[in-house]
Amino acid sequence: MVNRTKFYIDGAWVDPAVMKTVPVVNPATEERMYDVAVGSKADVDKAVAAARKAFETFSVTTREERIALLEKIIEAYKARSKDIAAAISDEMGAPIPMAERAQAGAGLGHLMSTLQVLKDYEFEETVGKAVVVREPIGVVGMITPWNWPLNQIACKVAPAIAAGCTMILKPSEFTPTSALIFAEVMHAAGVPKGVFNLVNGLGPEVGVAMSEHEGIDMISFTGSTRAGIDVAKRAANTVKRVSQELGGKSPNVILEDADFTKAVSGGVAQVFNNSGQSCNAPTRMIVPSSKMNEVKAIAKAVADKTKAGDPKAEGTTIGPVVNRTQWDKIQALIKKGVDEGATLVAGGPGLPEGVNKGFYVRPTVFADVTNDMTIAREEIFGPVITILGAKDEAEAVKIANDTPYGLAGYVSAGSVESAKRVGKQIRAGNVNLNGVPNERTAPFGGYKQSGNGREWGKYGMEDFLEVKAIAGV
């Protein structure tokens, strides 16, 4: 039985300071599944006190002790992986196979890659007559989103553990159960009291209390750019470190000599994956203007084969989006695309054919889009792709960089050399060439309004470390 009306603080399941709950709705059925407790500043204060006390001892544990702890967490996670996937599917709508393989699998992947980083990492180095020491930054507040819940939890918690930090996690109120199961995993693994704490809650209450708290040394935030700006402003008064992974509107540049069937179909499918709810989705496909009609046909074929439906039904490609607010926002942006003159190639407003309830969005393709259109500027966060034309490579790069975001970029070309030449010109933290996926040990994070931190691998762990120079040793 998951403790949805309790928080995990100081190694125990505890009642909120004041009992207040919010409903959790199944996006596939629009039905209320259960209520979850949401906290307040008093709960954050209690969690911070536990974390600060635990930091005194956990910060001086040895590498070997933290390796052993991560190994236990990994084994406990494996035992609960299907439970985590089922919760993710219920709460944010991911089809079961995708929830098990990609959603729950991502969390396990980060735990395992961080374990390897910890085994190999050098915490001290000699620089001239000084020794440079890397030490845990302290107590970390973690605010995570609903779209890849365990991916984001694990890629914060694992490196914080590896670094020797203690932490307070505030997961999304839309996907609380998978996070509560993760807390059970941490408890089963024997994580020392106070090292990991979980307080469910809303951004304006718990998120604000964490951002402003003088007992928290760092905030690691993943979410919208708007919310990230608010977190940074509130954190400024205590001069805490703020690491952010924010929104995106990532370009996908397909060059003249690329394999268009492969590049276009792969790019469209990647946007539709997770119902379009990925911050690094390649939502702006930039193609040679002369190839626009060919691209339209390929993209339409992918959309027509993409089945939006029951996450538990066999043959479903994508499930619903997470809630009514998101569905309404996506519908408004689809309408805006039509109104502003983009060519609607597939999909469009309303529910998919044969669907009469649930927050389902028709897999939608817009072509003949210009970069000043709303659908080319704003993050839609749904299964909607915009296709833009460019007269040549130089214009394609200019369009790619004409955005306030800079989380990811994608390039397809006939050779790796050509793709790399263009990829190096894209102002983004991650660039993928010719359909190669992200490398989990390489850094993940953004430029510009997509954030300022890095996660994954040793770069993610270093975000949780302070650097001290000791001269004269």
Same domain, 206 and 277: no
For 206-227, the pLDDT digits (tens) are 999 999 999 999 999 999 999 9
For residues 269 and 263, give the distance between their C-alpha atoms in angstroms, rounded to a whole number: 10
For residues 446 and 244, give the distance between their C-alpha atoms in angstroms, rounded to a whole number: 8
Rg (CA), the chain: 22
Same domain, 223 and 290: no
Nearest to 318 by CA among 385, 406, 397: 385
Backbone angles phi, psi at 95, to 5 degrees: -55, 145
Same domain, 240 and 256: no
Q: Is 139 left (phi over 0), alpha (psi -120 to 50) or beta?
A: beta
pLDDT at position 58: 98
Taking residues 313-326, what's their average pLDDT?
Answer: 96
DSSP state at residue 442: S
The first and second tokens of residue 248, run together, are 């995106």
Is residue 473's pLDDT more than 90? no
Overall size of the chain counted in residues: 473
Task: Print burial letters for 361-386: b (CB count within 10 Å at least 16), e (below 16).
Answer: bbbbbbbbbebebbbbeebbbbbbbb
Is residue 334's pLDDT more than 80? yes
Residues 152 and 145 sit within 8 Å (Cβ to Cβ): yes
pLDDT at position 2: 84
Owner of token pair 């998120």: 207
Q: Mean pLDDT for the chain?
A: 97
Starting at the earlier edge strand, list the strands of the sheet with 364-369. Answer: 343-346, 364-369, 384-390, 284-288, 251-254, 408-412, 430-433
Backbone angles phi, psi at 128, to 5 degrees: 60, -125
Percentage of the chain modeled with pLDDT above 70: 100
Is residue 1's pLDDT more than 80? no
pLDDT at position 278: 97
Percentage of the chain modeled with pLDDT above 90: 99
Same domain, 256 and 120: no
For 370-403, the pLDDT digits (tens) are 999 999 999 999 999 999 999 999 999 999 999 9
Domain residue limits at 269: 251-439
Helix and strand numbers, DSSP H then E, in the chain: 15, 21
Same domain, 193 and 239: yes
Same domain, 15 and 160: yes
Same domain, 226 and 263: no
Give the HSE-up count for residue 58: Cα atoms under 13 Å, Cβ half-sphere.
28
> Is the pLDDT higher at 2 or at 312?
312
Same domain, 463 and 391: no
Taking residues 116-130, what's their average pLDDT?
Answer: 96
Spacing of C-alpha 142 from chain mean position = 13
Q: Which residues, at least 6 apart from 440, have a Cβ–Cβ distance to it below 8 Å? A: 109, 110, 113, 456, 457
Nearest to 61 by CA among 196, 215, 194, 165: 165
Report yes or no on 293 lying in a domain. yes
For 415-452, the pLDDT digits (tens) are 999 999 999 999 999 999 999 999 999 999 999 999 99
For 85-102, the pLDDT digits (tens) are 999 999 999 999 999 999
Same domain, 173 and 199: yes
pLDDT at position 361: 98
The domain tally of the chain equals: 2
Residues 104 and 84 sit within 8 Å (Cβ to Cβ): yes
Residue 171: CATH number of its domain: 3.40.605.10
- For 57, the 3-state DSSP assignment is helix
- For 185, the 3-state DSSP assignment is helix
For residues 39 and 28, give the distance between their C-alpha atoms in angstroms, rounded to a whole number: 27
Report yes or no on 236 lying in a domain. yes
For residues 287 and 410, give the distance between their C-alpha atoms in angstroms, rounded to a whole number: 12
Query: pTM for the complete prediction?
Result: 0.96
Same domain, 135 and 283: no
For residues 340 and 344, give the distance between their C-alpha atoms in angstroms, rounded to a whole number: 11
Report yes or no on 445 lying in a domain. no
pLDDT at position 433: 98
For 8-25, the pLDDT digits (tens) are 999 999 999 999 999 999
Active site residues: 245, 279
For 36-66, the pLDDT digits (tens) are 999 999 999 999 999 999 999 999 999 999 9
User: Which run of H or of E encompasses 324?
Assistant: helix 324-339
Taking residues 304-315, what's their average pLDDT?
Answer: 94
Residue 415: CATH number of its domain: 3.40.309.10
Same domain, 239 and 263: no
Report yes or no on 2 lying in a domain. no
Taking residues 307-321, what's their average pLDDT?
Answer: 95
pLDDT at position 232: 97
Q: For the chain, what percentages of helix, strand and coil (3-state, to nearest 5) are there? A: 40, 20, 35
Same domain, 122 and 158: yes
pLDDT at position 354: 87
pLDDT at position 194: 98
Residues 141 and 220 sit within 8 Å (Cβ to Cβ): yes
Report yes or no on 444 lying in a domain. no
